[in-house]
Each structure stands twice: as C-alpha cells, then as structure tokens.
Structure 1
Amino acid sequence: MLTLFRWLIRIVTGVILLAVAGFGLAYWFASRSLPDYEATLRAEGLAAPVEIVRDNANVPHIFGASDADVYFALGFAHAQDRLWQMTMLRRTAQGRLSELFGERTLEIDTLLRRLDLYRLSVASVEDQDAATRAMLRAYAAGVNAWIAEVNDGARGRGAPEMWLFNHAIAPWQEADSIAVVKLMALQLSSHLEHEVIRARTQLVLEPERLRDLLPEAPGDGIAAPGRRAEWMDGLPRFAESGRGVPDPLSPARPRELAGASNAWTAAPARSAAGSTLLANDPHLQLTAPSIWYLARLELGSGGVIGGTIPGVPVIMSGRSAELGWGLTSSYLDDQDVYIEQLNPENPNEYRGLDGFQPFRTRDSIVQVRDAPAVTLKLRWTENGPVLPGEHYDLGLITPPGHVTSLAWTALSPDDTSLTAARRLMEAKSVEQGIEASALYIAPSQNLTLADAGSIAIKTIGAMPDRSPRHQSQGRIPSRGWLEQNRWRGVLDYVRNPQFIDPENGILGNTNNKMVERPFPNHVSFAYGDTQRVNRWQRLMQAREVHTRESFIEAQLDTVSFTARSLLPLIGADLWFTGQAAPDGTPERLRQRALDLLGDWNGEMNEHLPEPLIYAAWLRALQDRLIRDELGPLARDYTHVQPVFIERVFRDVDGAGIWCDVIQSAREETCAEIARLALDDALLWIGERWGAELESLRWGDAHEATHDHPVLGEAPVLRWFVNIRQSTSGGDNTLLRGRTAGTGDNPFRNVHGAGFRGVYDFADPDSSVFVISTGQSGHPLSRHYDDLGELWRRGEYIPMSLDPDLARAGAVGITQLLPR
C-alpha cells in the first residue's frame, strides 16, 4: 500500500510538473511576439529617422521628417500591436477565412466573394489622388517592415494566434486598406436586411398593421406603406428563417446590430469657455481587442490625434489643432435588392431592359482547410452581384424562376473614400472639412465638424439617384428589369443634407432622422434611433452654455427616455390595483415589481434591479403582442420596437387590436396582455436570476462582452482573451449598450461605443478620449485591457498634441532608422 501511495505521489507530481512546463513553454512562445517599445530598429522604405513615442496608455505619437515616413511608422505601430487583427480583416475582405478555419467560415467567404469587395478595392487604388497613393504605399511599407522584423528576429510569428493558425502572412498592399474600409461599410449597412424583413412581414400583415410594427421614423409627411408587390404572390407567408446565431468572424451583422453612434457639437455662444465643443462615440460590435486604435500623427499640415482602425492609415474620428470631426451612421438608404427573372429557356440569362441577356460570370475557388476546395460561379447583373437565397434569408422572398441582386454604393470600383479621409485630416476649418469630404463614397456617415468658431453636420457618402416612379421606393425588393426601379447614378454632393451654424448653437445626431424630404430626395425610411434623441435634446436644452464636463455627462447618461415614456402607458391599469396578496404568490411578486418600477426614474444603472425588470417586461410584452400574428417570423424581431409598443397602447390608428389574441375566443385587453407579460418576465427572471427582486443587478445581465472573435469560445483560452464587464446603459440610452437580443441571456451588452472622444477648442489639449479595451491585441500585454476599466467607469485619458507631455510619461520610444 505504501509503495502504491508513493507511486501515486510521483505520478501526480509528474503531471503537475509537466503541466507547469507545458504552460511555461506556451507562455514563452506566446510572449516572443510581445513588441519591445524601447528599441532602435532599421527598416527598409524609410527616407529619414522616425520616432514613435508611446505615452503611458500606449498611444503612439509619431514624429518624422515627411508625411510618408509618418504613415510608414503608423503602419509599423499598427502591425506591432494588431497584426493578427489586421490580417483577419484582410482575409475577411478577400473571402479567405476558410483557409484557416475550414468549413466554419465557408458561408462568410462565399458572401464576400460574391460581393467582390477585394477586387473592387484593387480597382479603386488608381482612383486615389497622388498624395493618398503615397500614403497607402508608405503605410503598407511600414506594415511589411514589422512583418520582416517578425520573420528576421524570430518574434513569435507576430501574434500568439499565429501559433494556432499558422499561415504565411502576405505583404500588405495598398488595396488592403481600401478593402478594410469597404468591410466596415458592410458591417454598418442594414438596408438589405430591412428590405427582406419588411417583405417577409408584408406577406403576413395588412398595410395598416405593417405600419405599426415597422413604422416610419417620426416626422411630418411620411408616406404610408404601399400594397404588397405583385411578385410576392405565391411566396410562403410563415417561412422560418434559416439564419442562426451570426459567427463572430462575420462582418455581416444583424440589422439590429448594424452601425450606430452619437455626436454633438456646441458653437461658441453655447460654450462656457467661448469656443466650440465636440463629442463623438461611434458604436460598433464590442470585441477584444477593440476595432479602435488611438494614435497621434505629426504631419506636414500639423498634428492630428484620435481613433484609427488598424489597417487604415487615417484618423477616423479626432482632431487637429484647428478642427475636430466625428462620425455617426447616417442610415442613408444606399442599398437596393432586385428580383431578377431568369430565362426559362436558359438559366444563364436574366431579363434586362431589352429582353434576356447573359450574366457576367467568373469562377472563384475557395480553399477550405481539411476539406475539398469549393468552386463558386460568381454572377452579376447590370444592377449588381447575384446573391444566393441562403444569404440574408433572400430565398424566403425570391419567387421560383428568379434570383436576387444587390445595388450598393460600396460596390463602386472607383471608391475615393480614403482620399476624402486623408484630405479631412489636413483641413483647417469647417468649410474645408466639408469640401474635403466630397469624394467620400461609403459607408455613408453624418460628419460632425467644429473649428474654433463654427460648427456643422454634413451627410457624406454617395446618395443613390432613384426615379420618382420607383415601385417600392427602396422599402422592399423590386423588379430589376424595370427601368423606373434602377438607379440613375448618384446625386450631386451638394444635395447631401448639411447644417452649418444654427441659431440655437447646438447640432447633434444620434442616428435619428434629421431631414424631412420627399422621395426620391429623402435620406432613408429606416433610421437607427427614435428614442435617444429625445434624451439628448433634453440634456442640450437644460443648459444655456455647455462645458467639456457637460458633454462627457451626456455621453455617459444612462436615463432611458423609452422607459420613462412607455412604463406609464403599459402599467396604467396595473399600479395600485388588485387585492393584497400573500408572500410567495405570483400576485405578490407582481406587486413588488410594480412598486419598484413605480419609484424608478428610468436610470439604467448597472447596480439597480429595475432596469432588468423593465427590460424583461418589455421583451415579454412585445413577444405576446406579435407571436400569434407573425408565427415563426416573430423570432426575427429580436429587440423591442418602442414606437410599436407606444402605438399599440395609445391605440394609434387602431393599433390596440394587437392586444387581442387571434387564437382565443374572447377579446383580450392591452391591460391583460401587459399583466400576463409581466408575469412571464418575472418567471423568466426567477429561473435565470432568482426571485429576490431587490437583489437583482442590471449589470449582471447587461455584461459587456468584449470577446475574441477566434479564441473567444475556446476552452481555457477564453478566460485569457475575453474581457467581461458589468455595465450600465441599454438599447435606448445615450450611454448605449446594445443588447444581444438572442440566446440564454438576451441582455448581454454586445454593441456600443468602442471609442469616445470629447474635444474642447477653448483648450484643445484638455480634450480627452478612450477606447473599450487597450491598445495591444496581445493577451499577454498589460495594454491588452488597461483602458477597458477606464472605459467602464466613464473615465478618459488626455488627448494632447504636446510632444513634451507624451515624452514625459512614455512607456517606450522606438527609433526607426533607414536601412
């Protein structure tokens, strides 16, 4: 027995030692790719020495003798910290993820090959002006210099992920940066999905009820939805979606998780310090690392600082000494889906304006890891690329003998968006900033601008020129062989909406509708916000003058206008009614919940129980209202539609009929449905979080999930690469934390402000910014998540162009010398 015990001790000790050795070996291999920021390196492609000063937040401040050398160093810094992220963005745009991940990503690659974004990016290189071409060449050379350093210096393949998915890294090309911008356009676009969901819903509902569930953005003169299109006759009414949970690697996000953002600015008359203010927080999918990367560039035109996207050599949102700029999604309707009729005698032809004509075709081979290669037959019509039915549920709204194609401004082979972005960095005034953005194509954005004395908002990006006779006005797919449905080009830039120096001295956008113009000069019929803008208006009007602090306060505001407006409606017949109920009964639990909500001010604070009760109630309520009418289609309405709930409970145009359950014999009232939905919500909360309502925390459900797109679900590794944080805010607060809408916990915070910046032109160096994780994409770096806790707490770091301040707290200074 003693001998057995000794051998057991030896075996356990050996296993522990082997595990420790294995962990140590893995750590050593992974840590080899950690860059040394205090270094002097020689690089091919530089004309003169360049200095990269990394401040204590690891923000690189880049100083060089020429703009080309500065862009070279930015490419070098991006690659040092985010090489894996950059290569993944490029592979995604190229449709080459399956070479690494096998059949898991084949659908993503198929979509990207059919959209042909990378080939269009290559074609767009020649359309950039000379200075932009020089920028792209220098940036690519900087990225490739770090790749060469990784290869020559045995720097752990450049990133820990490369050990698991080993594949040669191709040199960075000029077109790669353009492709990343086009990829962002795909992530920010949602009108294709809006058309599909509207068409599917229109198969089920009459026009009056469609207006309830998919209302137009508030405003005067909104046209009523038209009748069902003839081509929809015979389509299945209650077809179930075949789309599952989106792969984290997919850039095609569900329509409810497309781009969003906030931006607002104050003129000198509305600023306490007598100069302009600007705040911006773009909203994208939360990932680890963040898509944003902070940087400062000292260009010949002056210093610029702000948020960049690795792979793209421009400051997307930031400031110079003279001008600040911010971006919000405009929700411009820049996509149209077309129903294309196939020739019954020849499926290789489709119906054009003058009869049947052949598709433009090309074969494309997708290499798949551990599986045979897949050959795709890519097809285009005069309207755009043909997309098969498995993408975006297009098959559910495609009649037999037809296919669908897509017209989209981002599919331009002459995309000069990067030229516009480079010129914007050099602009010195609002007027110059608007002029510089004339060449911007996609994704369409609302550009908010502020110089020392002037403010403006300009919608940038190509606006499709549609015929007034367009059959669907772009709301649902239309027949592609009819001339009145086709685009006639794009509108002149001067037609894009703009606002300059308004009388009230305040401008802003929360993805809300900004202009009311009749079709076809409209911007969109579907916007990203009808709620946050109400709270923003209240905060802007509450002060005669604003400060940097009041703009920060607005960025971090967690009060839900939606909760304040809807709770009195849906609970009107429930509060202070009914008999007293004993503890432990559903009635008593409902009374406790109503008591909590009755005293609540609508603040979506992470430490409170009321936001969770409210959110669960609204979700259960919408499900009860639409489930019997929509059937399986109801599952695709993943988020609460506040305007729909309001229309129902105010009985706008008879919308109260939604409260009656079709399948039941009696006629239910809205008060009954609200009560039943509250019981549903409390039952769900009890099963998921416990029945002690007072001890609930919204932050436990509304946890920010900065997950690694590749390793985020891997056993053990996910504990090292994922960043989880309890957060305040919600779907409809200015501190927007968009919930997942699906899964066991539909209230996970998955989409929010990965970048926040506030610029004060009375004292520009007091401007501040922050990102949601850290600058490094390396999980072993202390800069992987060091800014994340500041972001969660609503704190910022300085945004100074003073080189002495950067040097004073530098964590390292990298000297790049010509080879």
Structure 2
Amino acid sequence: MSRVAAITAAAFLVLAAPAAAEDYAAFARNIIPSGQYGSVPIPPGADEQARMYDALTPLFDQVSADDLLRTFKYAGFGVGPDGPARPEPMPRAGVTVVRDRFNVPHITGRSRDDVTWAMGWLLQQDRGLLLAQARDAARLAAIDAPNIYAFGLVINLRQYTPTKAVDRMIERNGLRALRQAGAPGRALLHDIDVYLQGINARLKAEKSTAKPWTRVDVFAANAVTGEIFGEGGGDEARRSEFLSSLRKRYGTARGNRMFDDFSEFDDRDAPSTMTKTFRYGHKNLAGRGNAVLDAGSFTPTGPKGLARASKVPDWASNFLIVSGRRSTTGHPLFVGGPQIGYTYPGLTLEADISWPGGQARGATAPGFAGNILIGRGQDYAWSLTSAGSDVVDTYVETLCGGSKAKYRYKGRCRTMGRVDAGTIKDVGRVVYRTTVHGPVVGYAKVKGRTVAVSRKRASFGQDVLWQLSFRDLTVGKVKSAATFRESLASSPFTFNVGYADDRDIAMYSAGRLPVRPKSVDPRLPVKGTGEYEWRGFLAPSKRPFQVNPPTGALVNWNNRPAPGWGAADDNWSYGSTQRVRMLDAGIAKRRQHDLASVTGAMNAAATTDLRSEALTPILERLLKAHPTGATPRAARMLEWLVGWRAAGSSRLDRDLDGVIDAGPAPAIWDAFYPRLWAAAMPVEGVQAFVGDDSGTSSDFTDGGFWYLEKDLGRLAGNRYRDPFNERYCGAGDAARCAAAIWAALDAVPGEPDALRADATRERIAFRPGLLPTTIRYTNRPSGIQQVISFDRHRPR
C-alpha cells in the first residue's frame, strides 16, 4: 500500500508541475533577499535567501562559477533542483501550483486568465500583511497629495482613511488612460479584473473582514511604485530659493555661475551608460518663462513631517550587461536588478508562470496583474534602474482677487479647486487646493508678492499604463531589441531598462517626458499664467536607446543614460564621480568575461567606499605638493587613507567580529569627510540638496563629494572637459586649500592607529523590524538580482 501511495503521489507531482516551455537559457539564477514569505509569525526558512545573499558579500571580486550556484538559486522554468515540489490546492480548475523549497510558486494555467487569477490569489496569500497596510496609503500617491510621501506611511505603519471622492478620482483617471490606450488598454483592464477576482477569492477563503479589492487599489499600487522609483524633478521651488540667496550674497552674475556648477545639469565629465548622445533639456537662467522665489519665502502646505526630503532617493539599482564579443561564451552576459530596500514582507515576490504559448519567471509586485516586473522570458531577460528624468514641474501661480484661493491663468482669474482626501490617523485631515497644473504644494513670495506654488506630474493619471510594457515582456511579445524598445515606449514612468538575449544587449530610457518651451529653464519654477505650458512629450525615437555599443558593455548604476541628457532639477549628483565608475572599472579589468567575473565586478563595488576611491588620489597629490600645515598625526592619517585606497577601499567585515577589516582608514574617512567638506566648500546651503551623509547610510549617493572631486582635482592638476565656473576650496589657491585640509585631517579625533569603524552599526536590517535577521552592509540590488545568459532563441 505504501508503494502504491508513493506512486500516486509522484504521479500527482508530475501532473501538478509546470509544463515548462523550451528554456533557451544556458544559465539562469536569481535571488530576492527579502524572500517569498510574508506572514507573521515568521515561518521557518523566511531568511534563507537573505543568508544566501549575505554569503556572496565577503567574496568581493573573487566569485567562482560554484559560488553562483551556492549564493543564487535556480531561475529556470519549473522547480528544477530547488525541490522537493510541494503541491498547493487551488480552488480554480484550470490552474495548478507547486511550491519549491524557497516557497516560490510555479503556476501552470490552461489559459493566461488562469495564471492571472492565481497570481492575485497568491499575492494575497503571500503578501496579505503588506496589502492591508499599503492599499489605502497608496491612494495618496495616485492623487499627488501635496507634501506627503505615501510610501513613508506604509513603512511607518501609519493608517490613512480616504474619502469616496478620492476613489472616484483615481478610478476616473485610470479608466480614461486605459481607454485612450486602445486595444492594449482593454486587454490590461481585462487582466486587472481577473487579477482582482483572484485576490478577492483568497480574501473570502480566509474569511477576511477586509473590503474587496477594486480597480482603484490596483491603480493606486502602480502609482506608489512610480512615486518611489519612477519620477524625477519637482523641487524647483527650493532650488530657486537657493539661486536667490546666491545672487543676493555673491551678485547675480557670480550667483548664476555657482548655480550652474552645483546643479550639474549637463556635465560632460559625468559618466553615461551609452556612447550615443541624446539631448534633453537646456539651461536658460535668463528665460522669460521662469520665476525665482525670494530666499526663505516658501512655506509648504499639508501635514508636517510626512514629506520625503526633496532630493534624489538613495537608489542603488544596477545592471552590468556584457556583449557576446566580450563574453567567453560568445553570448551576452546579464547581471542586474532593482534596489528597493530591505523589508519584510518584501515589496517584491517571485513567480514562475506558464500557460499555452507563454512562459516567464521573475519578481512581481502588488498591482502587477499577471505580469512580471523584473525577470526573464524564454529567450531574453530585462531589468530596471530608476532614471529620475524630469517628469515633474513646479508652477508659480499669480494670485488675484485678494485671495489665496484665486489665481490668474490665460488672462482670467480662476478659483482653485478643493480636495478633501480623508484622514491620516494621529495627523489629521488632508485637504488641499488645486490649479490647472495640479495640487498647490505651498505659498511663497516673488519680489515680495505672495504667490501659490503648484506641482504638475507628466505621469499623473497615467500610472496604470506602466503595466503595458511588462505585459508585453511577460507574454513574450518582445522578440528582439527593436520590439523591446517598442514595448517600453508606453511607460509613463522614468526608468532605464536593460535587455539581453542570445545575440544582443540593449538599453532604453523610458518615460513620459515633457517638452518645455525654450524660454523655460527646467531647473526653476515656471510662470503659471499660461504662456509657458508644455509643448507635448518627447518622441520615443528621441529617448536614449542603444544596441550593442562599441564598448561591448552597458553598465548603469542610476547614472545618466546618455551624453547630453540633462539632469532633473532635484538631482544635483550627475557630476564627474559616481558609483558606476567602480562597476566600469570592474568590467574594464578583463577583455573577456564570464558570469562569475561580471558578478564579481558588481560585488566588489558593493562594499567599496567611493569617497576613498575618488578623493584619496587627489588629496595625496594636493597635500604632498603643499606640506605646510601637516602635523605628524595628520600625515599618519593620510598614510592610512592612501594605503586603504591602494588595497581596494573595501568596507568588508569578513570575519564577522563587528569591525571593518581595513583598520583605521574607514573610521578616518567617516570622521574626516564632514570636516573636509567644511574646509573645502565655503558655500552655505548646498548640502540641503545633496545631503550630508556621504557614506554607507546613503549608499554613497549623498554628501556632494563629486563637487570636491572636481574642485580639488583641478588644484591637484586634473583636467576636465567641464571645469567649474568658480573656484571654491581656498578661493582657488592650492596652498591655502591644502592648509585647510591638513587642519581638517588633524581635527579627526582619536589616535590614528587605534581608530576602527563599527561594522555592526552598518549591518542591514529588514524594515519595519518584523524579521530579526541582519546581513552585512552591501550596496547591490535587493528587489531581485538575476545572473543569466542565453545561447539560443525562438525563430526570429
């Protein structure tokens, strides 16, 4: 009897296992450190992927083929070596699901609808906790509620209750966008409705008291993703206040030159992923279409303490894609993924889906109606990094009628709209005004007169259309680099998308990008009187796209996509030094690569201190050329810094003793950098826009060290294509600058040889604190990371 039972069980597993389509991948592995589990209490094995992810970190660039098998899990179709397969009962006849040992669901449907329904069911099953917390708060992103970071409410477990008017607005906008998209929009709406059936069937099976999910929930889920990762710009008000203060302090001409330096709009020394030039935006501080706010006059509307700091988020997504001619196999190599932070429950979860005529696998997320966000099809893979291109503008509204609720537009005095968006618990009512441009985010003064400030987002009301691209990628409509570009052209959000198949590598920078009048400088607020409105949107053919570049690689770490591409007003980091240079250097070490060496290049950069790499050689030359002011302890500190840089600038703690292995140098840099900034950058107010944490807390995206690299580099003898207009450290006097830096080094407290950096403090914890596991600091993709290469393709 036991033998019969075993045979019967085996037969069931065969029937339940996904009937995988032909897999053209020569190698396919992935990892999601937050894992597939999402319930509380924490189930056994919930941190298994986190521990595998952590095991790669101490290998630095010494990654072997065996290491890939050990630190990444199987990402082919079907359960494969990640068994045993565990069948899971499903209440829909057309679908079967088996779970592998990582709890990843492998879904087989008799139709695409079966799979879409199952993905809704499993989303509620695996991420019910996240959905319960996020579904209402996400609505605030969809309506652009002023000065509220919706995702912050999710992470900080704040409760928001929307009004019915909010739901009506979101549904109206989403349905209008889908109708305008034609047949693809209708197909997507059908998917959404089937997906909702799956979510709600699971809620019913759980006997949940939660309200059934609606289209509004799906539209809002996509909006909050765009809020976090898919937009750029919108900080013109604060930036113009800074310009006003520079002009007041230094005079108009010099203040303008300094503003051009700090905004890093189109720095020819900034690293770009592509070799082809694409132009977007132009500087024009004398343009008639802008208004400059009086310094210190802007007062935001809305609840206090709920806005994200208006600067580029600490993005860390990257991809390294190597062409076949630089690969040992003759086929492209793909290593990449999005960085979305570390949470439990994870913001992404994995699915392997199969139906007649379709097969895909990768990370999905709430709101993805049967679609894969980052992943692979039969013969291609794709991944994203946030591009942050300028899709949000700020308008200055001229008030009229003696009221703060009336404004002038196209010669008429109009009354502002009013939105009652509901209540945030322990915060209060969310009520705001609107103009033709969007929500009123604050009030300010221009030449002493009070004005309203509003915000216009190009992707507003279009959020759900982001799914159209992923639907094409998921169902296999993409068959080449050219069709990849066509599918991504519909995205309203601004992302860099990397692609590889068995023959080609490609990148496309997507987004609904406004075309502004030449009389408007995109770094400053626009006059809202009606003469300076957008002139449509940038054509897909003018957005950055390149296939098989002459360098043989496409490497992106949230740097600008192409030469000539102007930075968004909220991004002042497109300078001469960015993290991507470390990835570029890793790829440049070899002419020919395999997947292990590309992964090693990524992994080495993930624990490298960029300040050390970029600034130490400059400081060494400058300080040794001007030794006046050097004390023995300052000289000793410089010696430690130079030695650390020569050894690779790693912040690793390999032996897990709680101390970074490199000795005193990491601690010296941590204490030295703020002192270096104070000594070398005498302009007040800059760090309000670039942040003051230059180290691991910002993943080396903050602190303004790129300004120091260029200013100090010129004093040390470096040549730049775009040198700064002004001199900053020592007013351009190298000896005076060096003396100030020597003093800053000497001011680092402690005995140089005894200093040590605390590695435990830098360990990564999973927010909001439900999962107790922590892992070593690393600066690499967390939403999913794929290591994949294809050696065949469907008939072309």
Q: TM-score, normalised by structure 1?
A: 0.70
- Alpha carbons of 1:632 and 1:257: their partners in 2 closer, same or farther (altered >3 Å)? closer
- Partner of residue 301 from structure 1, selected from 328, 332, 357: 357
The equivalent of 2:389 in structure 1 is 332
Q: How many angstroms apart in 1 are the aligned matches of 2:395 and 2:626?
A: 53
After TM superposition, give the deviation of residue 325 of structure 1 in Å: 0.8
After TM superposition, give the deviation of residue 476 of structure 1 in Å: 1.4
Letter matched to residue 305 of structure 1: R
Instruction: State yes or no: 1:475 paired with 2:523.
Output: yes
Instruction: State yes or no: 1:236 paired with 2:265.
Output: no
The equivalent of 2:102 in structure 1 is 57
Q: Is 1:282–1:756's contact at 8 Å kept on the other side of the alignment?
A: yes
After TM superposition, give the deviation of residue 410 of structure 1 in Å: 1.7
After TM superposition, give the deviation of residue 556 of structure 1 in Å: 0.8
After TM superposition, give the deviation of residue 552 of structure 1 in Å: 0.8
- Partner of residue 262 from structure 2, selected from 197, 204, 213: 213
Instruction: State yes or no: 1:648 paired with 2:703.
Output: no
Q: Is 1:125–1:174's contact at 8 Å kept on the other side of the alignment?
A: no
- Alpha carbons of 1:233 and 1:263: their partners in 2 closer, same or farther (altered >3 Å)? closer
Any idea what SS the aligned residue of 1:283 has?
Answer: coil
After TM superposition, give the deviation of residue 579 of structure 1 in Å: 11
Question: What does 1:114-513 align with in structure 2 at a 5 Å threshold?
Answer: 120-121=173-174, 123-126=176-179, 127=181, 129-151=185-207, 168-188=209-229, 191-192=232-233, 194-205=235-246, 206-219=255-268, 226=285, 235-237=294-296, 252=308, 254-257=310-313, 259-313=315-369, 314-359=371-416, 361-369=417-425, 374=429, 376-381=431-436, 383-388=437-442, 400-413=449-462, 415-425=464-474, 426=476, 427-442=478-493, 444-470=494-520, 472=521, 474-483=522-531, 485-513=532-560
Q: How many angstroms apart in 2 are the aligned matches of 1:402 and 1:181?
A: 33
Q: How many angstroms apart in 1 are the aligned matches of 2:311 and 2:450?
A: 28
Letter matched to residue 677 of structure 1: A
Q: How many angstroms apart in 2 are the aligned matches of 1:270 and 1:703?
A: 35
- Alpha carbons of 1:229 and 1:438: their partners in 2 closer, same or farther (altered >3 Å)? closer
Q: How many angstroms apart in 1 are the aligned matches of 2:613 and 2:360?
A: 41
The equivalent of 1:673 in structure 2 is 740
- Alpha carbons of 1:329 and 1:83: their partners in 2 closer, same or farther (altered >3 Å)? same
Letter matched to residue 740 of structure 2: I
Q: Is 1:340–1:402's contact at 8 Å kept on the other side of the alignment?
A: yes
Q: Is 1:68–1:138's contact at 8 Å kept on the other side of the alignment?
A: yes
Q: How many angstroms apart in 2 are the aligned matches of 1:611 and 1:291?
A: 32
What is the root-mean-square deviation of aligned Cα atoms in Å? 4.3
Of 325-334 and 216-225, the range deviating more from structure 2: 216-225
Letter matched to residue 387 of structure 1: V
Q: How many angstroms apart in 1 are the aligned matches of 2:129 and 2:212?
A: 13
Q: How many angstroms apart in 2 are the aligned matches of 1:504 and 1:199?
A: 39
Question: What does 1:62-73 align with in structure 2 at a 5 Å threshold?
Answer: 62-73=107-118
The equivalent of 1:621 in structure 2 is 676
Q: How many angstroms apart in 1 are the aligned matches of 2:125 and 2:420?
A: 33
The equivalent of 2:634 in structure 1 is 590
Any idea what SS the aligned residue of 2:245 has?
Answer: coil
- Alpha carbons of 1:697 and 1:721: their partners in 2 closer, same or farther (altered >3 Å)? same
Q: String of CA shifts for 1:277-304, please: whole Å, max 9, x gaps.
A: 2221212333333322122111333321
Q: How many angstroms apart in 2 are the aligned matches of 1:437 and 1:125?
A: 16
After TM superposition, give the deviation of residue 219 of structure 1 in Å: 1.4
The equivalent of 2:61 in structure 1 is none
Q: String of CA shifts for 1:174-228, please: whole Å, max 9, x gaps.
A: 3322322221111125643542442232122212222333323431899667259
Q: How many angstroms apart in 1 are the aligned matches of 2:132 and 2:684?
A: 46
- Partner of residue 568 from structure 1, selected from 609, 614, 617: 617
The equivalent of 1:703 in structure 2 is 763
Q: String of CA shifts for 1:118-170, please: whole Å, max 9, x gaps.
A: 7634544545533322321222122112211221xxxxx6xxxxxxxxxx522
After TM superposition, give the deviation of residue 498 of structure 1 in Å: 0.9
The equivalent of 2:594 in structure 1 is 547
Q: String of CA shifts for 1:701-755, please: whole Å, max 9, x gaps.
A: 43323221xxx4xxxxxxx545433314xxxxxx45xxxxxxxxxxxxxxx6442
Q: Is 1:68–1:135's contact at 8 Å kept on the other side of the alignment?
A: yes
Instruction: State yes or no: 1:605 paired with 2:651.
Output: yes
Q: Is 1:215–1:643's contact at 8 Å kept on the other side of the alignment?
A: no
- Alpha carbons of 1:408 and 1:233: their partners in 2 closer, same or farther (altered >3 Å)? closer
- Alpha carbons of 1:235 and 1:517: their partners in 2 closer, same or farther (altered >3 Å)? same
Any idea what SS the aligned residue of 1:141 has?
Answer: helix
Letter matched to residue 791 of structure 2: A
Any idea what SS the aligned residue of 1:192 has?
Answer: coil
Q: Is 1:468–1:519's contact at 8 Å kept on the other side of the alignment?
A: no
Any idea what SS the aligned residue of 2:206 has?
Answer: helix
Q: How many angstroms apart in 2 are the aligned matches of 1:175 and 1:727?
A: 38
After TM superposition, give the deviation of residue 340 of structure 1 in Å: 0.8
Q: How many angstroms apart in 1 are the aligned matches of 2:775 and 2:113?
A: 40
After TM superposition, give the deviation of residue 611 of structure 1 in Å: 2.9
Instruction: State yes or no: 1:657 paired with 2:728.
Output: yes
After TM superposition, give the deviation of residue 241 of structure 1 in Å: 9.8
After TM superposition, give the deviation of residue 92 of structure 1 in Å: 1.4
Question: What does 1:644-793 align with in structure 2 at a 5 Å threshold?
Answer: 644-649=707-712, 650-651=714-715, 652-653=723-724, 655-659=726-730, 669-680=736-747, 682-683=748-749, 693-694=753-754, 696-697=756-757, 699-708=759-768, 712=769, 720-728=770-778, 735-736=779-780, 753-762=782-791
Q: How many angstroms apart in 1 are the aligned matches of 2:689 and 2:515?
A: 34
The equivalent of 1:160 in structure 2 is none
Q: Is 2:440–2:455's contact at 8 Å kept on the other side of the alignment?
A: yes
After TM superposition, give the deviation of residue 464 of structure 1 in Å: 1.0
- Alpha carbons of 1:603 and 1:540: their partners in 2 closer, same or farther (altered >3 Å)? same
Q: Is 2:291–2:527's contact at 8 Å kept on the other side of the alignment?
A: no
Seq. identity, %: 21
After TM superposition, give the deviation of residue 549 of structure 1 in Å: 0.7
Q: How many angstroms apart in 2 are the aligned matches of 1:565 and 1:204?
A: 30
Give unpaired runs (5+ residues) of structure 2.
1-38, 47-84, 142-149, 247-254, 270-278, 653-659, 694-701, 716-722
Q: How many angstroms apart in 2 are the aligned matches of 1:512 and 1:147?
A: 42
Of 638-647 and 318-327, the range deviating more from structure 2: 638-647
- Alpha carbons of 1:575 and 1:552: their partners in 2 closer, same or farther (altered >3 Å)? same
Q: How many angstroms apart in 2 are the aligned matches of 1:580 and 1:378?
A: 58
Q: TM-score, normalised by structure 2?
A: 0.72
Q: How many angstroms apart in 2 are the aligned matches of 1:330 and 1:452?
A: 26
Aligned residues: 653
Q: Is 2:98–2:105's contact at 8 Å kept on the other side of the alignment?
A: yes
After TM superposition, give the deviation of residue 114 of structure 1 in Å: 13
